Amino acid sequence: MSAGSERGAAAPPGVVPAPRASKVELRLSCRHLLDRDPLTKSDPSVVLLLQSQSQWVQIVAQKKMTRSLLLKFGRNAGKSTITDLFSKSDPFLELYRVNDDQSEQLVYRTEVVKNNLSPVWEPFKVSLSNLCSCEETRPLKCLVWDYDSRGKHDFIGEFSTTFEEMQKAFGEDQAQWDCVNAKYKQKKRHYKNSGVVILADLKFYRVHSFLDYIMGGCQIHFTVAIDFTASNGDPRNSCSLHYINPFQPNEYLQALVAVGEICQDYDSDKRFSALGFGARIPPKYEVSHDFAINFNPEDDECEGIQGVVEAYQNCLPRVQLYGPTNVAPIISKVARMAAAEEHTGEASQYYILLVLTDGVVTDMADTREAIVRASHLPMSIIIVGVGNADFTDMQTLDGDDGILRSPRGEPALRDIVQFVPFRELKSASPAALAKCVLAEVPRQLVEFYSYRELPPRGGDTHARDPRGGDTHARGAGWPGVRPASVSSTVGVP
């Protein structure tokens, strides 16, 4: 059951008008009704009236009211009761842009604020491209609805504006618009609006792209970590994942070369750290989970990807494959380098750790802890699973399906891990492999520096393109990179 009235509407004879008119909804429920039909169940209906001071008035309750039902002569009708549930609107707002053909495209829909006539919606971000195709005079339309769980939302009102008008109005502290229902306006002579929508905050700023940071001098520091555990098989056996076939590179080499050749274009000195884990190493043949595969602990870097390949091939006959598969030590080592770089306060060095492994990590708890700590640093982790092992548990490290948490329950600040099973990309070209493996890195880099509010070196944190559109930068291609765009933050109460 619903009852509604509008401002300025005349009250029916004998009815006291409510001091403030709003659309209200009354929900009634009955319990333990008497059965008044001798052969079938009763078919009850409700007639709801309220008398005050000998006059009928509109019913508006702030809380649930339950009353006993009485029979004709004032006696209780058994345990029969009636409950009146009053609810206010459940408003939400939709923002549309008007296209050149006058069609309307949804840009954003706010959350529903339950039972509230003065809602304050959460701030939200939209790019200027999505908002108005970077044309600040393009018409925009805002619609306000009263949410209905069945999908039959009640229309409250609407207004039209432009982004240009929004900026001007906000700058003059006049950022509010009448929310008008045309049907009510036509029927009610004194109707003014169905409420007012106020723009509480408006921020307009540039979002820098991955290429902006690269063109600003940000270097990509690439580290590869290779699994030398015994589960890979004896490298002298052709069935081993580490077997060196002179005519066909093994999976470790295929993944290393495909990813490394992309990364080396973003590193000016073309030197890469190359580490191993899970092997017994000379001279004492003790197990190490963090050793330089060139056996130079003072300088674990190799000259280019070819240098890493040669170090890997020379390392195999000198180590004894062992175990377990512990990767937390190497993550922590790279994280220490990234932490030292962060203290510079510049977007100058970003670290990528490529882990090549044939199985699920043994030190999962320590690995999760190390990843959560690393999520606060300029660092991304790519894990490539080689071979045919069951990598289901490794997916937990990739935050795509939820927020990764440390064993203590601390959430990762951002998603920095990308896990890729190599067997799904065996038949792919090296370019396709690199694109899949590196696809998330540009977003992760931009996300980190944006969170730290660090612009590209030499850049302007408040740069604004007066034309609005996308910002492009020339440079070496990174697979899957999109150019920067101008974004705005709009909060609407």
Reported as a single tens digit per residue, the pLDDT across 73-117 is: 667 777 676 666 555 789 999 999 999 999 999 999 999 999 888
Is residue 257 scored above 70 in pLDDT?
A: yes
User: What is the pLDDT at residue 130?
Assistant: 86
Q: What angle do CA 143, 149, 150 make, to 5 degrees?
A: 95
> Is 410 in a helix, a strand, or coil?
coil
Q: How confident is the model at residue 52 (pLDDT cuts 50, 70, 90)?
A: low
Encode pLDDT of 332-389 as tens digits.
999 999 999 888 889 999 999 999 999 889 999 999 999 999 999 999 999 999 988 8
- Residue 232: pLDDT over 80: yes
DSSP 89: -
Q: What pTM value is reported for the model?
A: 0.62
Cβ–Cβ < 8 Å for 416, 374: yes
Write the CATH number of the domain with boundaries 62-77+87-207. Answer: 2.60.40.150
**In the chain, domain spans:** 62-77+87-207, 211-452
% of residues, the chain, pLDDT over 70: 78
- Of 470, 466, 463, the closest CA to residue 133 belongs to 470
**For residue 147, how many C-alpha atoms fall within 13 Å in the half-sphere facing its CB?**
17
CATH superfamily of 211-452: von Willebrand factor, type A domain (3.40.50.410)
Residue-wise pLDDT tens digits, 324-338: 999 999 999 999 999
Helices vs. strands in the chain: H and E counts, helices first: 10, 26
Q: Is the pLDDT of residue 399 over 80?
A: no
Kindly report the backbone phi and psi dihedral angles of residue 154, in degrees, each rounded to the nearest multiple of 5, phi listed first: -90, 130
* pLDDT of 471 higher than 70: no
Q: Output the six-digit token pair for 386.
A: 């080689």
Q: What was the pLDDT predicted at 437?
A: 82
**pLDDT higher than threshold 70 for residue 27:** no
Q: Is 458 a residue whose pLDDT tops 80?
A: no
Q: Over the stretch 113-158, which tens digit does the pLDDT of each residue have? A: 998 888 999 998 888 888 998 899 999 999 999 999 888 899 999 9
